């Protein structure tokens, strides 16, 4: 019944129980609130399958298969968590190995664990800032030649 394998769903309807029109409407509203485009409900005596759409979408929609699916499969998967790569010390941040050279990392670039992302110069000593894990650079948060403090976010990346 509507993806609930046994027991009681969040609307209080028990599996195998006859469903009245008010209960169907409540479930349709529940599905619409979660952005679901298909809806199916079945009891021992009837089966109802609906596909939300307009015009050609509704006419050409394929019939939906019915099966018991746990509620968790209908929930949205959260986006991968973005993390920041912070400056390990205060100094002058250099995004490239030399003036005019290509930057070590740019937005959209896939980087490997241990790959150099920038250099920080402090007291004429260059310190390499590397990726702790593989991922994709979402944003460069500082400009080339920027003075940074220890802990300043330099890059935002996702795994």
Domain boundary among 54, 74, 94: 74
Are 87 and 148 within one domain? yes
| pLDDT at residue 13, as a whole number | 47
Q: How deeply is 96 buried, as exposed, middle or buried, from its count of CB atoms within 10 A (0-12, 13-18, 19+)?
A: middle
| pLDDT at residue 121, as a whole number | 96
For 88, the token pair is 């390990």
Is pLDDT of 139 > 60?
Answer: yes
Is pLDDT of 138 > 90?
Answer: yes
**Any domain includes 1:** no
Are 127 and 63 within one domain? no
Are 51 and 67 within one domain? yes
Task: Give the model's confidence band at 76: pLDDT under 50 very low, under 70 low, under 90 confident, else very high.
Answer: low
The number of distinct structural domains making up the chain is: 2
Q: Is the alpha carbon torsion for 33, 36, 38, 42 positive or negative?
A: negative
| pLDDT at residue 29, as a whole number | 75
**Any domain includes 7:** no
| pLDDT at residue 24, as a whole number | 74
| pLDDT at residue 47, as a whole number | 72
Which CATH number goes with the domain that contains 93? 2.40.50.100
Domain that holds residue 32: 21-74
Is pLDDT of 134 > 50?
Answer: yes
DSSP 73: G
């Amino acid at each position: 019944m509507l993806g609930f394998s046994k027991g009681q769903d969040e609307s209080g309807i028990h599996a195998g129980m006859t469903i009245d029109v008010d209960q169907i409407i409540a479930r349709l509203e529940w599905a619409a609130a979660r952005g679901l485009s298909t809806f199916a409900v079945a009891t021992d005596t009837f089966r109802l399958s609906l596909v939300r759409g307009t015009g050609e979408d509704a006419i050409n929609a394929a019939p939906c298969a019915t099966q018991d699916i746990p509620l968790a499969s209908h929930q949205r998967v959260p986006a991968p968590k973005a993390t920041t790569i912070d400056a390990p010390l205060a100094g002058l941040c250099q995004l490239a190995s030399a003036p005019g050279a290509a930057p070590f990392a740019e937005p959209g670039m896939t980087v490997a664990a241990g790959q150099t992302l920038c250099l920080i110069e402090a007291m004429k000593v260059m310190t390499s800032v590397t990726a702790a894990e593989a991922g994709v650079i979402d944003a460069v948060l500082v400009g080339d030649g920027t003075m940074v403090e220890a802990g300043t976010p330099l890059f935002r990346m996702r795994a």
